[in-house]
Structure 1
Amino acid sequence: MMVQLGLIALLVVVYVILSRFLKSSVALLGRSKSVSDVRVSYVSKMLHLGFTAIFVLLICLVLGIGYGQLAIFFSSVFAVVGVALFAQWSILSNITASLIIFFGFPYRVGDWVKVVDKDDEILGQILEISSFHVIIQRLSGDVVTYPNSLILQKAVIRFSSQEAAMAASQFQQDKKEVVTVEDKVE
């Protein structure tokens, strides 16, 4: 019994230290990438939730709860969560993509980008990277909410300035052609 209490105390100390390290590391990474505080808080909470689940699992093992009992419990929980999320699979994929974007997306809020999409030109400035969407304001002023899971699947071109983005816009080129045709009519 004393060994179990000692292991639990050790696990609690390690949990507290690693939780603080995780939170400060995410905050430091967020500052270095110029990410909003809300986004840093969201990512920190998601990682902390996963870390807490691992901690609870370890405590259960130290207390002597058998693998079979844990397997039944977790399979029941995963079955319920799986059925609940099956209809909302895109939500789960967008949340996962949100974490990937936080750690590995090379673009930041304020960058001028073009999402290469054959159906539509999505070119503009990134206003916000939220939990589910990347919000882009087009040159025309329209706002596009592009799902996180899709932006990871598409090629994204980053421009150095608004002028460079305007020069690459197919719609701006169409307008130049219209002006040229009108000039020729006169």
Structure 2
Amino acid sequence: MYTQILATTGVAIGYFVVSHLIRKLVVSLGQIKKVPPQRMAYISKYFSGLCLVAAVVIVSLIWSLDYGNLMLFASSIFAIVGVALFAQWSILSNVTSSVIIFFSFPARIGHRIRILDDDETIVGEIVEITLFQVLLRGANGDTISYPNNLLLQKPVIILGDGTDTAPAAASEPPG
């Protein structure tokens, strides 16, 4: 029992250390990519939650929980969560897309983009990138909410970084 307590303590300390390192990594990467603090907090919480689930699984293995009862409980939970996620698959898809956008999407807040959609082409300046959607400001000042998962599925053209306020003047040939 002493070794189980010691191992559980080690897992708890490991969880806090890994969580802290992930948070520092996300913040440093976010600062390099000039990501707002709210998005860094979203991504940090997401990975901390994954670490917590892993720590709980490891602790349950350390304490040798009865696998029969544990598997019955886990399969019941997975069945309920599976039905809920199937009904709301887009929520999970948008959260996952938010993580992908954080690490690899080339457009940032302030960039003007054009999303080539089959039904309608959407043009706007990125105002905010949340856990579920990207908020764009259209030319007429309207706020457009576009789901993260669709943003990764559609072609996106980056028009500018928002610093160019006037259109470029047409160059005239000398003469």
TM-score w.r.t. structure 2 length?
0.86
Q: State the Cα RMSD in Å.
A: 2.1
The Cα offsets for residues 70-90 of structure 1, whole Å up to 9 and x where unpaired, read as: 322221111111222322221
Aligned to 2:104: 104
TM-aligned CA distance change 1:166 to 1:143, over 3 Å = farther
8 Å contact kept, 1:134–1:145: yes
TM-aligned CA distance change 1:156 to 1:165, over 3 Å: farther
Describe the SS at the equivalent of 2:29.
Answer: helix
Question: What is the DSSP-based 3-state SS (H/G/I as helix, E as strand, rest coil) of the residue aligned with 2:141?
Answer: coil
- SS of match in other structure, 2:85: helix
Deviation at 1:25, TM superposition (A): 1.1
Q: Tell me the amino acid that sits aligned with residue 34 of structure 1.
A: K
> What is the deviation of 1:6?
2.1
User: Is residue 61 of structure 2 the alignment partner of residue 73 of structure 1?
Assistant: no
Return 5+ residue gaps in structure 1 as ranges.
Answer: 168-186
Distance (whole Å) between structure 2 residues aligned to residue 52 and residue 165 of structure 1: 49
Report matched runs for 1:4-43 at 5 Å.
Answer: 4-43=4-43
Mapped partners of 1:165, 1:18: distance in 2: 47
**Amino acid in structure 2 at the alignment position of 1:134:** V
Task: Tell whether the 8 Å contact from 1:123 to 1:138 is kept in structure 2 after alignment.
Answer: yes
Name the CA distance, whole Å, in 2 between partners of 1:102 and 1:29: 9
Give, in whole Å, the separation in 2 of the partners of 1:115 and 1:6. 54
Matches within 5 A, 1:1-186: 1-160=1-160
Code of the aligned partner of 1:128: E
Tell me which structure has the larger Cα radius of gyration.
1
- Contact 1:109/1:126 (<8 A) preserved: yes
Greater shift, 48-57 or 38-47, is seen at 38-47
Percentage of matched positions with identical amino acids: 41
The residue type paired with residue 27 of structure 2 is A
- Structure with more of its chain in helix, by fraction: 1
Q: Is contact 2:110-2:161 (8 Å) kept?
A: no
1:142 positional shift:
2.3
Q: Which blocks of at least 5 consecutive residues in structure 2 are unaligned?
A: 169-175
113-122 vs 82-91, greater mean Cα deviation: 82-91
Question: What's the offset of the Cα at 1:34?
Answer: 1.4
